[in-house]
Amino acid sequence: MWLALRRLRWARRVAASPLQACWREPLPGRRCDWRALSFLVCDAEMSSLDPRQGELLSLGWVTVAEGAVQLGTARHQLIASEHGVGQSATIHQIHDRELAAASPPAAAMAALLQAAAGKVLVLHHAPLDLAYLNRLSRQLYGASLLLPVVDTLALERAQRERRGSPLTPGALTLQACRAHYGLPDHGAHNALQDALATAELLLAQIARRSAGGRFTLGDLR
Amino acid sequence: MNRRPEDQPDALRPLVDLAPVADFLRRTLPFQDLPAAELEQVLAALRISYHVHGSTLLADAPEQGLRILRSGAVDLRDRDNTLLDRLGEGESFHLGGLNAGGDEVRAIVIEDALLYLLPDAAYQRLRQRNRPFDRYFSSQRSRRLRRAARYQPAPNTLLQDLRGCMSTDLLTVTPGDSLQTVARAMTARRVSSALVLEGDRLQGIVTDRDLRTRCVAEALPVSTSIAAVMTPAPETIDADSTLFDATLQMTRRGYHHLPVTEDGRLTGMITSSDLILARQDDPVYLVQHISRQDGAEGIRDLLAGLPQLVLQWHQAGMRAQQVGRILTAITDAVTVRLIQLAEAELGPAPAAWCWTAFGSQGRAEQLLGADQDNGMILADDARPEHAPWFAALAHKVCDGLDLCGYPYCQGEVMATTDSWRQPLAQWRETVRRWTDTPTPAAVMRVSIFFDLRAVYGDAGLCAALQDEMLHRASRNSIFLAALAANALDRRPPLGIFRRFVIERDGEHRDAADLKKRGVMPLTDIVRLHALAHCVTAVNTEERLQTLASERHLTIGDSRNLADALHCIQQQRLQQQCQQVLRGAEPDNFLNPRGLPTMAREQLRDAFTIIDQAQAALRLTYRAGLD
């Protein structure tokens, strides 16, 4: 409900943009079983942990539909940098040279929005990635994304807090969460591989909580 | 800027973008041999799902296709809940294919599993386009079926039909022929029966016994027509019946002869001696015959046909581990018979004792060409003056074994060696010495000692010794570390698949010794785990099962090691059978160049598993030592 109202408020400003096209698809219902929903599991790599200083370097995403990761929907988008990669190149293994072949931020964002239409956006540690995505969206279209979001990290934290298990530092990293569900090391570290790793984590989280029964979007938040 | 199409930002480049998934598939049969273009299509079609422990996948689920285990473990069970197979990481199954025979096979998740599904349309398309891929799955299915057969009684020659052993060269006479004519014809043809035919129709049967009881005993004139003494309208049996049916029919009715018909037409005759002959390739029959021989020479002659028998078993689809068990049972029978013969000569034993098998005989994993590894445990009340009796017996038995084709052990692990023929108390002392001060040479020499099994005599002595040995070994980390060093000494010949590792003995320059570089390191690893956890089983497969059920090894590791052993043993058996066919001496050397790709891949997988198990062993038992 909230999202729908907020979208209305910004509707005029985003007219004729990829964001408007994305909003045209109906919002997923909160009481819908998860197998009937589509999720776009996404990960972003950026040049700094501070959204005011850094910029997006790449985006990766993959769709979860009918209860399974649809591997053919995976996409990896390198984003053309305005300032060069700097320090984080060593972390993300992206070099200026590769980025020369990357798309401009507007094209990458348009592709993401096209994939996300009618879906639930899934991120591991959503606030950081969303800050970057929303900032770019405001620059390009004058409004935030206003997409329904599930955060696998928040989900895991809530679950552990409910159970009263103490959280050690690092217990909620993507790798640690996966290990908790017996998922194999995914090792690599680029946006698409992390998105894929997050998608598998989402499946595991849902499978453990639903025990094969009904599980809705409302249960995921 | 010039952009190649694959650099288009909005296209998926599966091999690059999905590199980790592609790498996983490339380590998985049969995807590793797929051309890049086809692998790309597989990647783009895959669906990933997660299944918690206890969930079940059915053949009539809406999503069908090939399921590949990325992680976790799955049991395949049929309608009767019989376990057909247990699958781990990298293995795949297709419920539709498994259910082609209507067996209601289902998959039960036993460890939380991440599954890759290649949807049926894409899977079938790939099978049509790619021959090796298709062949892998058709052979995989028969492998599954054979595995399923593991849980059923061994195939039996009694289930063959009659055509293979009936005689077709029949003596036929007419009802008007005289007794004497028929008796002369039977004598000339050296047969014990004649069939009485009128035209095409079987009228009766006459046998040696009939001539004795109905003619001679009754003093009938030799000119009497045969129709008067024959058994009219004899029972017949159809050629499609099994040897078992024929045996049953004969024993029930007390017959020794049965005419065989096909579509009502007489085509042959089967006799009780045909039935006995037909069972010659039955190992039970061989074991019985061994136990009736009066000397080593007789046993040697019986065993002369053993390689041919192994060849027949192999061709009949018997697996290497079954062959191993049967060959071991035969060795046991030979040993027991030789001991009985020696005892008959030397008189009864002056004290309780036990003949013990070590190494592959102990583990029941012998193939052709095994040498002897044995010893004797004497009861502690054996006195010094009894020693000559035991020594004499040891020499007779070991010499006999050598004569029968089990060569003397080069490492002198034989009952004829004084240190391998001692009272229990001294054995205990020996075990204490070995475990307390393990020198590398000693450890290498004695490691097969820990695979021991009583073959003859007082099994309690053997059990007591094993108890002592497990007790001492499991608590002694220095000894376990020494055993680990030994187990790590022989590396699997992984390099052979790139450049050839050469066995230095000259004769087999391009070959790998499957026994020394495959079976031995693997059994070393499993033995070490078994000793460390006080597992009493000595058969490698049984050790692995116990280790997994007691949770000292994961199901996956245990399964992988068992599969690796089966694969290498199967390859050894295959190789030995080919050598028998060529008329060569069976050995253990394999040149992987001569292997089909699939067998080479499987062998490499097996060696890789050993390599990884060795790495794990190093971490567990030699942390900080190397």
B69 interfaces chain A, CB cutoff of 8 Å: no
Q: How much of chain A is in helix, strand and coil states, percent to nearest 5? A: 45, 20, 35
pLDDT of res. B145: 38
Subunit contact A204:B51, Cβ cutoff 8 A = no
pLDDT of res. B147: 44
The answer on pLDDT for A84 being more than 70 is no
Instruction: Measure Cα distances from A196 to A204, B256, B302, B370, B592 in Å.
Output: 13, 74, 64, 52, 39
Instruction: Measure Cα distances from B574 to A206, B502, B601 in Å.
Output: 48, 21, 16
Report d(CA B270, CA B165) in Å as an integer.
7
- The answer to which of B296-300, B362-366, B432-436 has the lowest mean pLDDT is B432-436
- The answer to which of A152-156, B32-36, B307-311, B581-585 has the lowest mean pLDDT is B581-585
Q: Which of chain A's residues have a Cβ under 8 Å away from the Cβ of B18?
A: 71, 74, 192, 196
Give the count of beta carbons closer than 10 Å to the beta carbon of residue B155: 14
Which amino acid, A67?
Answer: G
Over range B308-327, report the average pLDDT.
Answer: 81
Over range B143-167, report the average pLDDT.
Answer: 55
pLDDT of res. B621: 85
Nearest CB to A183 within list B45, B49, B114: B114
The answer on pLDDT for B395 being more than 90 is yes
pLDDT of res. B347: 92
Q: Please state the domain extents for chain B.
A: 13-149, 162-278, 283-430, 476-626
Q: Which of chain B's residues have a Cβ under 8 Å away from the Cβ of A188?
A: 19-20
Three-state DSSP class for A58?
A: strand
Mean pLDDT, rounded, of chain B: 83
Q: Nearest 5°: phi and psi at B591?
A: -100, 110
pLDDT of res. B157: 61
Specify the CATH superfamily of domain B283-430.
Beta Polymerase, domain 2 (3.30.460.10)
B54 interfaces chain A, CB cutoff of 8 Å: no
Q: Which of chain B's residues have a Cβ under 8 Å away from the Cβ of A60?
A: 17
Q: Are strands A149-151 and A56-65 parallel, antiparallel or unpaired?
A: unpaired
Report d(CA A184, CA B524) in Å as an integer.
29
- Taking only the tens place, the pLDDT of each residue in B505-533 is 444 545 678 888 889 899 999 999 999 99
CA distance B4 to chain A (A): 10
Architecture, CATH, for domain B162-278: Roll (3.10)
Nearest CA among B339, B404, B418, B412 for reference residue B373: B412
B52 interfaces chain A, CB cutoff of 8 Å: yes
A87: exposed, middle or buried (Cβ count in 10 Å: 0-12, 13-18, 19+): exposed
B41 interfaces chain A, CB cutoff of 8 Å: no
Which token pair is B242?
Answer: 């099994």
- Taking only the tens place, the pLDDT of each residue in A168-215 is 778 889 988 998 898 988 776 789 999 999 999 999 999 988 877 888
Q: Which of chain B's residues have a Cβ under 8 Å away from the Cβ of A56?
A: none
pLDDT of res. B6: 42
Contacts of B281-288 with C-beta under 8 Å, sequence gap 24+, read B281/B157, B281/B309, B281/B312, B281/B313, B282/B156, B282/B157, B283/B309, B283/B326, B283/B329, B283/B330, B286/B330, B287/B329, B287/B330, B287/B333
Q: In chain B, which among 21-40 make CB contacts under 8 A with chain A?
A: 21
| Stretch (H or E) spanning B336 | helix B320-346
Q: Please state the domain extents for chain A.
A: 2-220
Per the document, the length of chain B is: 626
B86 interfaces chain A, CB cutoff of 8 Å: no
The answer on pLDDT for B501 being more than 50 is no
Question: Quick one: fold of A2-220?
Answer: Nucleotidyltransferase; domain 5 (3.30.420)
Report d(CA B227, CA B156) in Å as an integer.
40
Buried b (16+ CB within 10 A) or exposed e, B459-478: eebbebbbebbbebbbebee
B20 interfaces chain A, CB cutoff of 8 Å: yes
Nearest CB to A101 within list B7, B19, B45: B7
- Taking only the tens place, the pLDDT of each residue in B194-235 is 999 988 888 999 998 888 888 888 888 989 999 999 999 898
Mean pLDDT, rounded, of chain A: 86
Subunit contact B50:A111, Cβ cutoff 8 A = no
- Dihedral (CA of B550, B555, B559, B560) sign: negative
- Taking only the tens place, the pLDDT of each residue in B81-135 is 776 777 778 888 888 777 766 667 889 998 889 999 999 999 999 988 888 888 7
Which token pair is B580?
Answer: 């028998």
- Taking only the tens place, the pLDDT of each residue in B449-479 is 889 999 999 999 999 999 999 998 888 888 8
Cis peptide before B30 (omega within 30 of 0): yes
Nearest CB to A111 within list B1, B10, B19: B10
| Range B476-626 has CATH code 1.10.3470 | no
Whole-model pTM?
0.48
Report d(CA A36, CA B438) in Å as an integer.
65
DSSP for B551-616, written as a single string: TSS-HHHHHHHHHHHHHHHHHHHHHHHHHHHHTPPP-SEE-GGGS-HHHHHHHHHHHHHHHHHHHH
Testing the interface with B: which of A63, A71, A112, A201 to mutate, by most B Cβ within 10 A?
A: A71
Report d(CA B145, CA B558) in Å as an integer.
21
Q: What is the CATH number of domain B13-149?
A: 2.60.120.10
| Residue A82: pLDDT band with limits 50, 70, 90 | low
Taking only Cα atoms into account, the Rg of chain A, rounded to an integer number of angstroms, comes to 17
- Taking only the tens place, the pLDDT of each residue in A124-172 is 999 999 999 999 999 999 999 999 999 999 999 988 888 777 777 788 8
The answer on pLDDT for A76 being more than 70 is yes
- Taking only the tens place, the pLDDT of each residue in B228-263 is 999 998 989 998 887 878 887 887 778 889 999 888
- Taking only the tens place, the pLDDT of each residue in B528-585 is 999 999 999 999 999 999 999 898 988 878 888 888 898 888 888 888 888 877 777 7
Half-sphere exposure of B49 (CA within 13 A, CB side): 21
Q: In chain A, which among 155-214 make CB contacts under 8 A with chain B?
A: 181-184, 186-188, 192-193, 196, 199-200, 203-204, 206-208, 211-212
A68 interfaces chain B, CB cutoff of 8 Å: yes
Q: Which of chain B's residues have a Cβ under 8 Å away from the Cβ of A180?
A: none
Q: Which of chain A's residues have a Cβ under 8 Å away from the Cβ of B44?
A: 71-72
User: Number of A:B CB contacts under 8 A?
Assistant: 91
The answer on pLDDT for B60 being more than 80 is no
pLDDT of res. A95: 54
| Residue B142: pLDDT band with limits 50, 70, 90 | very low
